[in-house]
A and B are shown apart, each in its own frame.
Chain A
């Protein structure tokens, strides 16, 4: 179980100190799938980075199975079983797909294991294992390698940040199956940050993040129903001129 208690995060930008997260309270239980969604810039990635230890809270605490890990480093958290698949994964000159998967799995990843991982994200191992993770990869390929690097690990808390971004329909189908399958074999907490209905439907709980806060925790059914009402309510659709702000 992972808990965030009154977590605040600030960051520095050109204008000075900005508030990124403002009092996040969140309890993520084992064996559950959470989908975090909400408008761009709402704070989803920042919550994930705070759990991973990439961002440090200015206030509040992070607990893993009841133990305070607020002061633990990224490496320590990784070794405790927290994992994060980046929204924008880095590229590496010189590091091959198989090297990354080996690092992820703690070096005990044989060829067979690596093939299975790539299969799970819709990539053919033969074409990819020996390739450097450099600028020759498309965005979608890079994302899938990133996801595979998390699937390679034994985790208590796994967070995937917009895994569907840039991925084609066919691979997306495969990815849905993979995430659905994780529910069966995975003994931990799964957090997926996403805007996709099909991923939302996998969730036990949907967490809506907006303006640095958690504005709602609900079920996928309820959440999707509400979204439909919002679109249905928007009367401007028919009579507003393209580009003009609705007066509805």
Chain B
């Protein structure tokens, strides 16, 4: 059921080189094509709309669930997934979407993911976006992610898009209850005429909640990027956003910080920087024997790792 292109996409977005261990659901061109539940992680299709419910039993440890989506034709796919991460569990969720668009039609995936990270649970969520294909049809990805982290829970998000997506609008909303923790790592590379927008809104509503967001991006050619990172503190909490972009060629990057405190013990920091590669960095690597192009690649690769 999986051809070579599918396999390549799966490797790119979910590091999958064979059928994964543990629970998984593979969605191709708008349909679930392979699925497996395990004793602790149940995957059931929704009955009212396209998508699945992923239910992780309380106390499940060291298990993973892979739910990659692949599109290999110019079509539009809309999916709603709901995750119930049971109290005290510790799991890895690998999502991601790969598009191979060979033709002239637009290929578009809009995913709405909703997570409930229950008391004391720990979830690591990895989402990679990848596009390829020589056709003129655009490759578009618009993920919407909503996460509620209950008391003492931990959500760690890794959101990566390094190639081949023409347009993306990523909207992420997170609410943090008492003692919960959020760590977000975002990596974005755009080139050609690509456009990317990332909106992350974090509400720290519980005492001693904390959020750390590290976003790094590189904008090449004529691409455009817009970041709108927003922290709101309603309790005794700590939040830190670090937003760093390297701009090249004719690209445009906007980074709009917003921090709001509604409590005297909310401590929020926003750092944002945009700039080209520092010439001293290039010079240093060239004095070690790299060509200018190799030096540039080494700097960008390190930056986005």
Note all chain B residues with C-beta closer than 8 A to A79: 289
Query: Is the Cβ of B302 less than 8 Å from the Cβ of A74?
Result: no
Q: How large is the interface on A (under 10, 10 to 19, 20 to 34, 35 or more residues)?
A: 20 to 34
Digit string of A60-74 for contact with B (CB within 8 Å is 1, else 0)?
Answer: 000000000000011
B contacts with A, residue count (CB < 8 A) = 22
User: How many A-B residue contacts, CB cutoff 8 Å?
Assistant: 60
Note all chain A residues with C-beta closer than 8 A to B280: 86, 88, 90
Identify the stretch in A92-100, A178-186, A205-213, A223-231 within 8 Å (CB) of chain B at 4 or more residues: A92-100
Note all chain B residues with C-beta closer than 8 A to A88: 280
Note all chain A residues with C-beta closer than 8 A to B278: 90
Note all chain A residues with C-beta closer than 8 A to B298: 95, 99, 103
Give the distance to chain B from A52, nearest Cβ to Cβ, in Å.
6
Question: For chain A residues 86-138, which have a beta carbon within 8 Å of chain B?
Answer: 86, 88-90, 92-96, 99-100, 103-104, 106
Note all chain B residues with C-beta closer than 8 A to A75: 286, 289-292
Query: Is the Cβ of A74 less than 8 Å from the Cβ of B304?
Result: no
Q: Is the interface of B mostly helix, strand, loop or mixed?
A: helix
Q: Does B3 interact with chain A (Cβ within 8 Å)?
A: no
Residue of A nearest to B244 (CB): A93
Q: Does B162 interact with chain A (Cβ within 8 Å)?
A: no
With A and B bound together, what is the CA distance between A104 and B286 in angstroms?
Answer: 10
Give the distance to chain A from B281, nearest Cβ to Cβ, in Å.
5
Give the distance to chain A from B226, nearest Cβ to Cβ, in Å.
21
Note all chain A residues with C-beta closer than 8 A to B301: 94
Q: Does B303 interact with chain A (Cβ within 8 Å)?
A: yes
With A and B bound together, what is the CA distance between A57 and B236 in angstroms?
Answer: 60
Question: For chain B residues 259-305, which have a beta carbon within 8 Å of chain A?
Answer: 278, 280-281, 283-292, 298-299, 301-305
Q: Does A165 interact with chain B (Cβ within 8 Å)?
A: no
Note all chain A residues with C-beta closer than 8 A to B285: 103
With A and B bound together, what is the CA distance between A75 and B289 in angstroms?
Answer: 5
Q: List 18 A-B contacts (CB under 8 A).
A: A52-B287, A73-B286, A75-B286, A75-B289, A75-B290, A78-B287, A78-B288, A83-B287, A86-B284, A90-B280, A90-B284, A92-B281, A92-B302, A94-B302, A94-B303, A95-B298, A99-B302, A103-B288
Nearest 6 pairs between A and B by C-beta?
A94-B302, A90-B280, A95-B302, A94-B303, A78-B289, A74-B286
